[in-house]
């Protein structure tokens, strides 16, 4: 009974979440609109818009026609540095979690064998 | 890893395809300036070619190609290449990660281009090594159970 | 009305995908299915960013001809692509960490079912 009620609450929460999201999406500018804030020449604070600036200046600044690479490694190099550190941290966490556990189980197995003897 | 029955067709096709995937990964890293690509995508392709060999052959063959203990050192080396590029710019009198101060070429834009290439190599190396090492770690325990 | 629909339907598909991911995380009791839901949630957010970077009649953000004056309207927005590119690889690494944690959980409690897991944990505390 209690599980049933919890299930109803969960599903209704999901539906309310979907309704809220769709309501929020009605306020977005349509896809591909050149007049939406992300695609304008000037941002809301009257500074040059980042994306448009990158498109105009990427080749002149970095001599690489691929703007994504230019942004990734040059304009936003700090960002990529952080992401790469996150990847290294994830790898090291996997290493530490699983390798240390293996040594432990080996020791416990040895102990079990000794105890049996 | 569990020793599956080695299907000869699967191992043969994997052996043939894997070097081409690796070559394509290198192409994606080094041609990232001129076509869609870069360190992250190329590193993932390199990792895919190594993991393909590990899946298709016995774990022993995969270890011969890329030993599991190399994963973390190579990943750290990739991150160090990235930090080293930034610190080299600092050394030659600029700001951290400002490639315009690296004495690699005459023009400023070409210097930035070389700096991007160095950074992408570091990213590709780190991503490849870390993905392979995560794969190895997740399958580590199987033969002991 | 039809124009509004054509401009927004991609967002709605992404939102449905987002709710599917949340469904996996909330309703399902198996921890592996929860991680799969997490991945679906992440992919939905990545697709949302990519969908919002479109411009009609524009091409990929690789410069075709650098001798002419560069038209900003001719190339789609490169900034979301850059951010999501890193997010994908970081997502793979973090899902690796979550699977490592699941392996450890399974080794200790010999189950991945959430209710069963909570029961065994409280039993262990009682001992």
A49-107 residue pLDDT tens: 888 889 888 888 888 899 999 999 889 999 999 999 999 999 999 999 887 655 555 55
Residue C81, H or E segment: helix C78-109
Cβ neighbors of B57 (< 8 A, separation 6 or more) are B6, B11, B14, B15
Nearest to B123 by CA among A79, A45, C97: A79
> Which regions of chain B are under pLDDT 50?
1, 143-145
Average confidence score pLDDT of chain C:
90
Closest CA–CA distance from residue B8 to any residue of chain A (Å)? 32
Residue of A nearest to C24 (CA): A14
Alpha-carbon distance of B96 to C109, in angstroms, equals: 48
Residue B69 is predicted with a pLDDT of: 86
Residue for token pair 């080794």: C107
**ipTM computed for the complex:** 0.87
Alpha-carbon distance of B75 to C96, in angstroms, equals: 15
Domain that holds residue B16: 8-143
A19-33, A96-110, C21-35: range with lowest mean pLDDT? A96-110
* Overall domain count for chain B: 1
**How many other CB atoms are found less than 10 A from the CB of residue A101?**
17
Cβ within 8 Å of C, A 54-113: 54-56, 58-59, 65-68, 71-72, 76, 79-80, 83, 86-87, 90-91, 93-94, 97-98, 101, 105
CB B134 within 8 A of CB C101: no
Alpha-carbon distance of B110 to B87, in angstroms, equals: 19
Q: Which two tokens stand for residue A63?
A: 């001599």
How many Cα atoms sit within 13 Å of C90 on the Cβ side? 17
Residue B144 is predicted with a pLDDT of: 47
Q: Residue B69 gets which letter from DSSP?
A: G
The pLDDT confidence band at residue A112, using thresholds 50, 70 and 90, is low
**How many other CB atoms are found less than 10 A from the CB of residue A29?**
15
Interchain contact C64–B (C-beta under 8 A): no
Number of H helices, E strands in chain C: 4, 0
Give the C-alpha distances (Å, rounded to integers) separating C73 from B33, C51, C54. 21, 16, 10
Picking from C13, C34, C56, C82 by the largest number of A CB atoms within 10 A of its own CB, the best residue to mutate is: C82
In this complex, do B131 and C86 lie within 8 Å of one another by their Cβ atoms?
no
Phi, psi (5° rounding) for residue B49?
-65, -35
Residue B1 is predicted with a pLDDT of: 47
Name the CATH topology of C2-126: Helix Hairpins (1.10.287)
Residue B3 lies in a domain: no
* DSSP alpha helix (H) spans, chain B: 8-30, 39-56, 59-65, 71-91, 108-138
Residue for token pair 């809301």: A44
Q: Which residues of B touch A73 (CB under 8 A)?
A: 38-39, 115-116, 119-120, 123
Interchain contact C103–B (C-beta under 8 A): yes
In this complex, do A98 and B115 lie within 8 Å of one another by their Cβ atoms?
no
């Amino acid at each position: 009974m209690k599980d049933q009620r919890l299930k109803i609450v969960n599903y209704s929460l999901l539906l309310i979440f979907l309704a809220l999201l769709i309501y929020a999406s009605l306020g977005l500018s349509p896809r591909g609109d050149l007049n939406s804030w992300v695609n304008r020449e000037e941002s809301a604070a009257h500074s040059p818009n980042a994306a448009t600036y990158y498109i105009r200046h990427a080749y002149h600044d970095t001599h690489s026609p691929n703007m994504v690479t230019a942004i990734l490694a040059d304009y936003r190099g700090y960002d990529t540095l952080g992401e790469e550190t996150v990847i290294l941290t994830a790898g090291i966490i996997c290493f530490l979690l699983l390798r240390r556990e293996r040594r432990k189980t080996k020791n416990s197995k040895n102990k079990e064998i000794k105890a049996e003897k | 890893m569990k020793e599956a029955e080695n299907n000869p067709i699967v191992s043969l096709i994997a052996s043939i395809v894997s070097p081409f995937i690796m070559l394509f990964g290198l192409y994606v890293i080094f041609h990232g300036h001129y076509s869609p690509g870069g360190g992250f995508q190329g590193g993932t392709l390199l990792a895919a070619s190594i993991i393909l060999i590990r899946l298709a052959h016995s774990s022993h063959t995969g270890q011969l190609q890329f030993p599991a203990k190399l994963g973390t050192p190579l990943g750290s080396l990739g991150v160090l290449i990235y930090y080293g590029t930034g610190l080299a710019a600092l050394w030659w009198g600029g700001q951290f990660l400002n490639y315009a101060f690296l004495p690699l070429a005459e023009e400023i834009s070409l210097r930035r281009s070389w700096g991007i290439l160095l950074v992408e190599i570091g990213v590709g190396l780190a991503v490849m090594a870390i993905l392979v090492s995560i794969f190895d770690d997740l399958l580590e325990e199987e033969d002991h159970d | 009305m039809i124009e509004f629909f054509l401009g927004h339907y991609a967002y709605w598909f992404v939102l449905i995908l987002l709710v599917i991911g949340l469904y996996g995380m909330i309703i399902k009791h198996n921890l592996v299915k929860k991680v799969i839901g997490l991945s679906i949630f992440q992919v939905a957010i990545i697709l949302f960013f990519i969908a919002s970077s479109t411009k009609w009649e524009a091409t990929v953000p690789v410069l075709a001809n650098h001798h002419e004056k560069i038209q900003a309207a001719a190339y789609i927005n490169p900034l979301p692509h850059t951010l999501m590119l890193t997010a994908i690889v970081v997502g793979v690494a973090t899902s690796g960490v979550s699977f490592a944690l699941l392996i450890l959980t399974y080794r200790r409690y010999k189950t991945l079912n959430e209710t069963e897991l909570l029961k065994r944990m409280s039993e262990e505390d009682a001992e």
